[in-house]
Amino acid sequence: MFSNRYIFIYSSVMVILVAIALTIVAVLLKPMQEYNQRVEKMQNILISVHIESTPKNAEVLYKKYITESLVVNSKGEVKEGVNAFDLEMQVENKKKSEDKNLPIFICMSEKNEKYYIVPVRGKGLWGPIWGYVSFKEDLNTIVGTRFGHKSETPGLGAEINTPPFQNQFINKTILNNEGSFISVMVVKGGAPDSDMHGVDAISGGTITSKGLEAMVHDCIKEYTVYFSKIRK
């Protein structure tokens, strides 16, 4: 028979040993994991302007095409001393609108066209959704999008990260004829081809679709002032 004393000591020692082992593993592997996350982010930024990359060549392609990155605030002023790539939208979204750091990545394409890429982040049905939206130099027409999600329903909400859904955004515009910001709507039952500000929602994925619409609207809205400055 084992005494209570033995059981207490046994479990304490076991827990401490396991904790030490796990800490060592986590600390040793952290640099590699962070590197992987950075590469994935580069790949996502590149794919939003239709540049395919693999984990191996992502860094090279990123350096080649993404020529500049900057951080602005909602008043449209460029902020110095902040690295756009290292900003976490998760953290920025919790701040008040006027305190937010808004990253912009500028890409020079093969055809020598200048694209502006901005990150977006919002809420889906089960967890966060995020993505990148890229614009042509008029800062109105969408070049491409890339969306991701943590845990949306497979086959329904999770469809937001598939090419058929993402490609609908190509060539849509975020400004109406008067030049004011209206974003791109996700239309239930399908948007007609002529609709310059609408894409089809996902059947059965209404809450994810609506969350995505709100995410694109809310995040790009913050850039309105800076964008209108650049357009002039």
Partner 1 sequence: MSNFKLLKAPFNRENPITVQVLGICSALAVTVQMKPAIVMALSVIVVTAFSNLIISMLRNTIPPRIRIIVQLVVIAALVIIVDQLLKAYVYDVSQKLSVFVGLIITNCILMGRLEAFAMAQKPWPSFLDGIGNGIGYGLILVIVSFFRELLGSGSFYGHKVIPQSFYDAGYIDNGLMILPPMALITIGTIIWVQRSKNRDLIEK
Please, what is the minimum distance in Å from the beta carbon of residue 200 to partner 1? 19
Q: Which long-range contacts (CB under 8 A, 24 or more apart) does 71-78 make?
A: 71/101, 71/102, 71/103, 71/104, 72/102, 72/104, 72/223, 72/226, 73/98, 73/99, 73/100, 73/101, 73/102, 74/98, 74/100, 74/102, 74/222, 74/225, 75/225, 76/225, 76/226, 76/228, 76/229
**Closer CB to partner 1, 6 or 52, in the complex:** 6
**Closer CB to partner 1, 102 or 129, in the complex:** 129
Alpha carbons within 13 A on the beta-carbon side of 56: 0
**Closer CB to partner 1, 59 or 218, in the complex:** 59
Q: Are 217 and 183 in contact (CB under 8 A)?
A: yes
Which H or E run contains 142?
A: strand 142-149
Distance in angstroms (rounded) separating the CA atoms of residues 159 and 157 = 5
**Closer CB to partner 1, 42 or 184, in the complex:** 42
Alpha carbons within 13 A on the beta-carbon side of 18: 6
Interacting residues with partner 1 (CB under 8 A): 2, 6-7, 10-11, 14-15, 18, 21-22, 25-26, 29, 32-33, 36-37, 39-40, 55, 151, 155
Please, what is the minimum distance in Å from the beta carbon of residue 214 to partner 1? 24
**Closer CB to partner 1, 37 or 171, in the complex:** 37
**Closer CB to partner 1, 26 or 78, in the complex:** 26
Tokens in use for 179? 């030049």
